[in-house]
Structure 1
Amino acid sequence: MESSPAKINGTSTADLANEMDTMVTDRRDEPQTDFIYCCGAATELLRFGPCQLHSGHKVLFFIVPGNPGVVGFYKTFMQTLHSMFGYRHPVWAVSHAGHCVPPDSMDMIEDASSAAEGDVFGLSGQIEHKLAFLRKHVPRETSLVLVGHSIGCYIILELMKRDPELKILKAVMLFPTIERMAQTPQGKVMTPVLCHMRYVAYLPLFLLSLLPESLKANLIKLVFGGIRSLDHTVVQPTVGLLSGDCAANAMYMGGQEMKKVLERDNITIQENLQKLIFYYGATDHWCPVQYYHDIKKDFPRGDFRLCENSFRHAFVLDAGRDVAKMVVEWIRGDLRT
C-alpha cells in the first residue's frame, strides 16, 4: 500500500519541490543589468548567470553588439542561449562606450581627457574598450565563445588580432560587416549622412530627447508597427537611444565604420579559420550575398552559411530566439569537448 505524499499547509511536498524548481529556474533566467566606467566611458553590462567569474567557470558567452551597441536589444537572444545550454554557461554582453543611458548618478564620461585621447567613442576606441573589459573582468583561463553581430564581427576579428592570447573557443559572426561597408547598398546611402551630415540630425534628436518617456515609447512602437512579430523587449532600449548623446555617439562610430572598414582581414581570418562561423543574410543591404560568395571562394575550408529563413540584418527585432537556437546547434559539439 502506497503512502500519501506529505503535505505542508495543504500543499504536497512534491508540489512544493516543483514550485521551488520553477523559482530557481526563473531566478537563473533573470538578467542582471549594471553600469560601470570602462576606458572612462559609461558602459552597460547585461548578464545572464553569475555576475562574477571564477576558475569554475570554464566558458563565457560574450556578445559583441552591432551599432547602435545597446545590450538591451539582445536580451531575448541571450536568454535563449543561456536556457538552451541548461544555465551552465554565463552569457554576458557589454554595450559600446557611450551608447547607453547612464543612471543619474553617472556622467557619460568619467574622465574627459582620457576618453578623448583614446577616442573611446570611435571604432578603434570601441575595440580597445572591449579588450579592457575582458582583461579586467574575465579570468584568462576562461574560454570564450564570442558572438558578434554586424560591426561586432569586425570588432571580434580585431580582438583576435590585437590579443592573440585570448582563449577563444569559437567565434560566431552574425550578419558580418567586415569589409567594404561604404560600397554596400546601405553604405552608399548612409555614408554621406554619417560622415558629412550627422550634425544636421542632432537638433531633431535633441528635440526628441525632451519628449516624455511614454510618448517616445509610442513613437517607437509606431515606427516598428510594420514588424509583425516584433520582440517588444527592444522598445525600451530604443527609447534610450533618443536621449540624444547615445544616438550621436552611435552616429560618430558609424561614420568611422564607413571610412575604416575597407578590405577584409584575410590574415586574421586564416589564422583563426577553425574557430570562426560566419552567417550571412540572403537579403542583407549591409552585406550583399556577393560578399558571402567571395569569402567562401577565398576560404574553401571555412564555415560559411547563408540565411535560409529570411532573417533581417537587425535580427534582434523579431528573430532573436530563432537565431539563438541556430547558434546553439552550431556550437553544441564544441562545448562537449
Structure 2
Amino acid sequence: MTPKTAPSQATDVLIHDLGSNDGRAEKFMIYILPGNPGLISFYEPFAIALALLLQRSSVAKNASIRICGKSLRGFETGATGATDRNEQTTGPVSLAETILRTEADLMALATSTSTPSAVSASPVRIILVGHSVGAYILLELLRRHRCGAGANVHNPVDIVGGILVFPTVTHIARSRAGWILTPLLSIWGFAAIVGVLVNIVFFLLPFSFVYWLVRIVARFPASAATTVTHFLKSRHGVRQTCWLGKEEMRLITEDKWNEDVWGNGSPQDPTLYMYFGQNDPFVPNDARDKLIVAHGNIPGQETSQESRAFIDIYKIPHSWCIEHSDTIAEKVTPWVEKIISRYPQ
C-alpha cells in the first residue's frame, strides 16, 4: 500500500489514501479533529507517520483506509487544498456551530470514499482522532451519532472508535492556562481587537519574511512554520482562535456524556482510548484523574488488565503536533489496529 500524500505546504483539507478502493476491502476512515487553532496542516506529519506505520501493519494491509481531516471552520487559510471560497467563514464560529460544521465535513469526506457499486455494502467505518478541543468535538460527534441525530437506516457511515489525544474535555477554565486566559478572553471585543492588530502587523510583510521569523523565534520545524505563517497572514484565524478559546473556557466544564458515548459493555460500542499529558497546562490534574477513574476501563471489563486511558511518560507538550508527531503516531497505531481487527477483512 502506498499513501497518496497531500503537499507538504499548508492545506485546509488533508487526505492520505491507503490500500485499494475497489469495493471489496473493508473501508475505514481515520478523521483527524484539530485542536485550537484548528488548522489541519499542523497534523500532516502525524498523518504521514501514521500512514507509514499502517503500511506495515498485518491488521490493516487488506483494508481500504483514508486518513483525512479538514481545518475547523473559521480557520481557512486559502492555501493549497482550501475549501471553496463560498464555504469560507467571515464571522467568528461558535463551538456549537463548529461541531455541526465538522459533522458535515466528516460526512462529505466519508461518503466521497464510496462508489456507486458499494451503496448497499457495509458503511464506511470511522475512527476519530481528536486533539485538545478536537477531543471534545469527538465526543459530541459520537453523542450525535449514537443518538441518531440526522441518521436513518441507510446511514453510510458508522463511528466505530475514537482516540482522544491530550484531551480538553472537562474544566478547562480551572487549568493553569485557563486561569490566565479566561480573564483575557472575557474582555469585550478582545478577539476582534487582537485579530485586527495581527492583520495590520502581518498584512504587508512578505510571506518568506514571516516564515523565517517564525522559524528563528519559535524554532518550529519547516512544516509547522509554514502553517503558522499562513495562520498569521489569514484574515480571520487569530480572531477565531480567541473566540473559540473563550467558548472553550465557558462551555467545557462537567463530564456531560453518558453510556451512549462512553459505552456500557455492548459489542456495538465504539472503542475509545484516551492519552493524557503529564501536567498538561490545559487540563487540571484532578479533572484528568477523575476521567481516568470513571472511564479508564472498558465497560464490562473492569476486572481485566486492559485500560483505555494512559498518561504520557515522555513529557510531550500539549502542542505535540509541532515536533512529536512520530511518537504520538506510534502510540495511536496499536489502538487503530485493535479497532480495525474487530471487523473481518
| Superposition TM-score tier, normalisation by shorter sequence | 0.7 to 0.9
Who wins on radius of gyration, i.e. which is larger? Answer: 1
Q: Once the 2 structures are TM-superposed, how far is the Cα of residue 266 of structure 1 from its aligned partner? A: 3.4
Instruction: Report which stretch shifted further, 324-333 or 311-320.
Output: 324-333
Matched to 1:143, the amino acid is: R
Distance 1:300 1:204, change over 3 A: closer
Compute the displacement of 1:194 (Å): 2.2
Gaps of 5+ in 2: 56-60, 112-121, 149-156, 299-307
Structure 1 segment 6-155 matched on structure 2, within 5 A: 25=2, 28-31=3-6, 44-49=12-17, 55=23, 56=25, 58-86=27-55, 88-102=64-78, 110=86, 121-139=93-111, 141-155=123-137
Q: What is the DSSP-based 3-state SS (H/G/I as helix, E as strand, rest coil) of the residue aligned with 2:183?
A: helix
Residue 140 of structure 2 is aligned to residue 158 of structure 1: yes
* CA deviation profile, 1:128-187 (whole Å, cap 9, x unmatched): 111112233313800011100000000011101122255122100001011111111101
Relative to structure 1, is the Cα distance of residues 142 and 33 closer, same or farther in structure 2, using a 3 angstrom cutoff?
farther
Matched, 1:306 2:311: yes
SS of match in other structure, 1:317: coil
TM-score in terms of structure 1 length: 0.78
The letter for the 2-side match of 1:79 is I
- The change in CA–CA distance for 1:107 and 1:318 in structure 2 (over 3 A counts) is closer
Higher relative contact order (CA 8 A, sep 6+): 2
How far residue 120 of structure 1 moved from its aligned partner, in angstroms, is 7.2
**Alignment: residue pair count:** 297
Once the two structures are TM-superposed, the CA of residue 213 in structure 1 deviates from its matched residue by 0.6
Q: Percent identity?
A: 21
Aligned 8 A contact 2:159 2:270 in 1:
no
- The 1:105–1:276 alpha-carbon spacing in structure 2 relative to 1, beyond 3 Å, is closer
Q: TM-score, normalised to structure 2's length?
A: 0.77
Partner-residue secondary structure (3-state), 1:60? strand
Secondary structure (helix, strand or coil) at the match of 1:163 reads: helix
| 1:307 Cα deviation after fit | 0.5
Q: Are residue 237 (structure 1) and residue 227 (structure 2) matched?
A: yes
Instruction: Report the CA distance shift for 1:110/1:294 in structure 2 as closer, same or farther (over 3 A).
Output: same
* Residue 218 of structure 2 corresponds to residue 218 of structure 1: no
2:275 paired residue number = 279
Structure that is richer in helix per residue: 1
Q: Where does structure 1 differ by over 4 angstroms across 4 or more consecutive aligned residues?
A: 32-35, 52-57, 103-109
Distance (Å, rounded) in 2 between the aligned partners of 1:34 and 1:240: 10
Structure-2 separation of matches of 1:282 and 1:111: 38
Distance 1:122 1:54 in 2: 39
> CA separation of 1:195/1:223 partners in 2, compared to 1, >3 Å: closer, same or farther?
farther
SS of match in other structure, 1:256: helix
In the alignment, structure 1 segments of 5+ residues that lack a partner are 1-23, 36-42
Q: Deviations over 1:31-87 (max 9, x none)?
A: 26999xxxxxxx92111117x977445111110000111111001100011111118
Corresponding residue number in structure 2 for 1:9 = none
- RMSD between aligned residues: 3.1
Are 1:316 and 2:292 an aligned pair?
no
Moved more, 185-194 or 63-72: 185-194
Distance 1:286-1:250 versus aligned 2 partners, 3 A rule:
same
1: distance between equivalents of 2:283 and 2:72?
21
Change in Cα spacing, 1:181 to 1:213, as seen in structure 2 (3 Å) is same
